[in-house]
Structure 1
Amino acid sequence: MPYRLSRAGVCLTPLRRSVRWMEIGLLAGVASLLSASCAPEEPGRPEGAIVLGTLLPFSGSESAIGRNLEQAMLLAVQDLNAAGGLDGRPFHLRSRDSHSSVERGFDQLLHLLYTDEVHYLIGPEENALASKSVQEVKLADAFHMLPGYAAPPIARSEAMGGWMRLAPSSFDVGCTLARIAFDDGIPTVNSLAAGDDYNTSVSSEFTTHFAALGGRILPSVTFRSGQQTYASKIESAFDAKAGRTLLAAYPRTGSTIVTEWTVSGRPGNWFLGPALRTEVLLANIPTGSLDGHLGVSPSLSLRSECRTTTTAEGERAVDCATGNAAAFLEHFSSGWDGDAPLPAAHFYYDGVVLLAMGLVYAQAKTGEVPTSGHELHEIIRELNDPAHEAASWRDLPAAMAKLRAGIPLRYVGAAAEYEFDKYGANRHHFMQLWTVEGDAFVDLAPVPVSCFPG
């Protein structure tokens, strides 16, 4: 298909893409129009490649995680291409920097959609940026894979665009923490939460479920990230004398709060949200200050690796093996000179593989590669029916061969065995309970995602 020059000097193919650029006002002057040139391939893009676009924080306040998540996706692309790609066509990852910013990140999203002409998106990490992207994804009828913890909830069907959420939702996190507090006999809770959508949602789910179980909620405190000090907010939260106070924040802000809390004498007891399980937090707080305080994050044990039993006292206990997660850690480390994957990196690897499996199967069944996000959403959901044969990330060549033969397979990934609800949200059955000892995270027993007695 011939390339046309848009008024912004961008090489675009479909007419609606150049129109969309004009609608959002990204117009350049005559000089850029005259000097622009159109190249069918971006530098480094293999000929005929299936391009996956990702938006990650490589700079700004959340930059500590961006590279690690990209490494996971690059590893997935390498593994998929070694397994034959899409009938010999390689997969290619196009990364752009969200700058940890809604405004700058949204501009990069537009470039992915209308400059890079990407149909398949992965990320971002930022909740507000993902939420702002919804309308553009619908207009482009793109497919949007959301592996991040802070991704927006998916609770509606759309005729255009497709969304899939891989990590546990704020509902899963909040209800699990509420159940832990209630089962431990803690009478009262509150929270100290950042004012962004994700952390306020985690806080709300936590207190709502705790009240539903019969606990008592004390006044919670919200704050705006980026302040020089949070001393007054910490004082207000702990003046309530709650049995547990949930800290729902991102690592850099969380480390400032924990440090100031330590200086103030360490009043009360914390619950720690999943976004805080990162070395950035531990590297920026006094060693030992969080020893014994509990947090939850997604369990990286497969559902089939977990066994639930009932104790003599009637309490449920969960025992999970960790062989699958350990194998992925070894695979990641061998590919990246000893680097270890963040827990979220497991989901980003899986996001790439799930997307690729859907494309390969669709082509086998229809002879075409779907570019409609809505269509691909339905295909991936259907593939991951629990009744289908399982296919592991550890043997992608065998999985790809079966998909090319039109055999439907459900994916057993680096983070989970995937099963999606009708909206595209992965179902989670267990969360990982953890604590801190000195300068390290220590895993405790997994816990079931359960908000109600029984």
Structure 2
Amino acid sequence: MYHRYQQWFHDRGRLHGTKISLLAGLVSLVSSACAPAEPGHPDNAVVIGAILPFSGRESAIGGNLEKAMLLAIEDLNAAGGLDGRPFDILSRDSHSSTERGVSSLLELLHSEHVDYVVGPEENALALEIAPEIRAIDAFLMLPGYAAPSVARSDTRGGWMRLAPSPFAIGCALAKLAVRDGVATVNSLAARDDYNATVSSRFITAFVELGGDDLPSTTFNSGEQAYTNELKSGFAYDAERTLLAAYPLTGSTIVTEWTASGRPGTWFLGPALRTEVLLANIPTGSLDGYVGVTPSLSLQNECHITDAVRETVDCTTENAAAFIERFSRRWDREAPFPAAHFYYDGVVLIAMGLAYAEAKHGVIPESGHELQQIIRDLNSPANETASWRDLKTAMARLRAGVPLRYVGAAAEYEFDEYGANEHHFMQTWTVRGDAFVDLDPVAVTCKSWN
């Protein structure tokens, strides 16, 4: 049942708080009645919670993301932990569901008394739990692509977003369309918050860059067929139609689109770059269509080769090193791109705790305080520390030296709200049953960052 190891912070008011409190009590009762025994944590461990989709429609990614977090724990403990105290992970299943995921997250916060949580993947779940995170001043690290934006200041609770925002994704897609000479676009987008926002930002940025938008179509995820939506989406002959969906629904749409004769030309949204999509569509049906996802190249691995066209050349040595490290540890399994951010999320928390203890003698229990510490550590003025040498990094942090983290996914630099800044996105295409990387694209829509 369980596994181990701008404005989204709406206060839902007294009714929400009462609902959360009652649910917390029910969670404790249910968990004591039906949860199986778990291995204990190491003595005096610093426990980091994880809320991941081990079941439900997003279950294909949960185990891979947890392995990235477990790898981070192993590397941190090999580096001496928190001044000799080991780190550990306590994972709970979100069930790919808001209602059931809230129960699991409340168990971590109230029954297990975890102060620091990584996840969830589900946008709606993160939105639902936000008032509780603020109420108890906990800390939520959001590595997932679909995490909500964090553009709001609070005096309680801490949130950090590691992956690019829908604003940045939309900008990259729009610039790609303009660079390719596309004059008209529209979208076929799921109605969930993340995909709808990616679609909206793409269309808005494209119009601001001088293009024309044609009527777009939205749909509910999980339907058996999308005949009417496909007909509507391609009725206006847009030169590019963005498919913004999660992979299982996306595969249903692509399969039906293929059977209907493959009208139009796709752009592929960031959530579609997963083997789940390729395993559930006719082989070759998306060959040549282009998508955008977060770049895993470090900023210092990229440079603009053509300022006019904003052509970018990036190397991938850092990401390749992490892929090799992960696959060596986990029996040749490759990490999903998002797994790089989950590894980094754990390390960023550990670095913040180590530095706080060195400077103040105690680790912060306040999520708001921890967020400020991690932001300050990752100031461009500080020396860098790589994920590849955490032993040196943790030793220097324990000595009170502030260090900026160069992780498996990015060089981190956070805005005033705790959102990581991104400068480049990765473009890719499909060839047969594989994804193939293309040239990156710069994110330069300044008004959308």
Q: TM-score range by the shorter chain?
A: over 0.9
CA distance in 2, matches of 1:116, 1:110: 9
Residues 24 and 110, structure 2, Cα contact 8 Å, conserved in 1:
no
Q: Which of 69, 82, 86 is matched with 1:86 structurally? A: 82
**1:77 and 2:86 correspond:** no
**C-alpha deviation, 1:255, in angstroms:** 0.5
Residue 136 of structure 1 corresponds to 132
- The code of the aligned residue for 1:336 comes to W
**1:349 and 2:343 correspond:** yes
Deviations, residues 79-110 of structure 1 (Å, cap 9, x unaligned)? 00010100111111000000000000011111
Residue 297 of structure 2 corresponds to 301
Residue 49 of structure 2 corresponds to 53
Q: Which of 345, 355, 359 is matched with 1:361 structurally? A: 355
CA distance in 1, matches of 2:20, 2:53: 27
**C-alpha deviation, 1:22, in angstroms:** 8.4
Give the total of aligned pairs. 426
Residues 213 and 452, structure 1, Cα contact 8 Å, conserved in 2:
no
- The code of the aligned residue for 1:319 comes to D
**1:266 and 2:229 correspond:** no
Cα pair distance change 1:262/1:21, threshold 3 Å = closer
Residue 210 of structure 1 corresponds to 206
Matched position secondary structure for 1:145 = strand
Cα pair distance change 1:43/1:197, threshold 3 Å = same
**C-alpha deviation, 1:183, in angstroms:** 2.0
Matched position secondary structure for 1:337 = coil
Residues 244 and 270, structure 1, Cα contact 8 Å, conserved in 2:
yes
Residues 178 and 451, structure 1, Cα contact 8 Å, conserved in 2:
no
Deviations, residues 325-344 of structure 1 (Å, cap 9, x unaligned)? 00000000011000000000
CA distance in 2, matches of 1:210, 1:433: 17
Residues 272 and 294, structure 1, Cα contact 8 Å, conserved in 2:
yes
Matched position secondary structure for 1:445 = coil
Matched position secondary structure for 1:318 = strand
For normalisation by structure 1, the TM-score amounts to: 0.91
Residues 24 and 107, structure 2, Cα contact 8 Å, conserved in 1:
no
CA distance in 2, matches of 1:273, 1:51: 35
Residue 22 of structure 2 corresponds to 24
Cα pair distance change 1:254/1:406, threshold 3 Å = same
Matched position secondary structure for 2:241 = strand
Structure 1, gaps ≥5 residues long: 1-18
**C-alpha deviation, 1:446, in angstroms:** 0.8
CA distance in 2, matches of 1:166, 1:154: 10
Q: Which of 218, 224, 238 is matched with 1:222 structurally? A: 218
RMSD: 1.9
**1:147-162 equivalences in 2 (<5 Å):** 147-162=143-158
CA distance in 1, matches of 2:126, 2:354: 26
- Of 408-417 and 213-222, more deviation after overlay is shown by 213-222
Residue 63 of structure 1 corresponds to 59
- The code of the aligned residue for 1:344 comes to A
Structure 2, gaps ≥5 residues long: 1-16
**C-alpha deviation, 1:23, in angstroms:** 3.2
Cα pair distance change 1:76/1:26, threshold 3 Å = closer
Runs of 4+ deviating beyond 6 Å: 19-22
- The code of the aligned residue for 2:379 comes to D
**C-alpha deviation, 1:310, in angstroms:** 2.1
CA distance in 1, matches of 2:292, 2:304: 18
- The code of the aligned residue for 2:397 comes to L
Cα pair distance change 1:25/1:83, threshold 3 Å = closer
Residues 21 and 114, structure 1, Cα contact 8 Å, conserved in 2:
no
Identity of aligned residues (%): 66
- The code of the aligned residue for 1:369 comes to I
CA distance in 1, matches of 2:295, 2:148: 19
Cα pair distance change 1:287/1:45, threshold 3 Å = same
- The code of the aligned residue for 1:238 comes to F
Deviations, residues 173-227 of structure 1 (Å, cap 9, x unaligned)? 0011011112211111000001100000000000011111111111100000111
**C-alpha deviation, 1:47, in angstroms:** 1.5
Residues 193 and 203, structure 1, Cα contact 8 Å, conserved in 2:
yes
Q: Which of 220, 227, 232 is matched with 2:228 structurally? A: 232
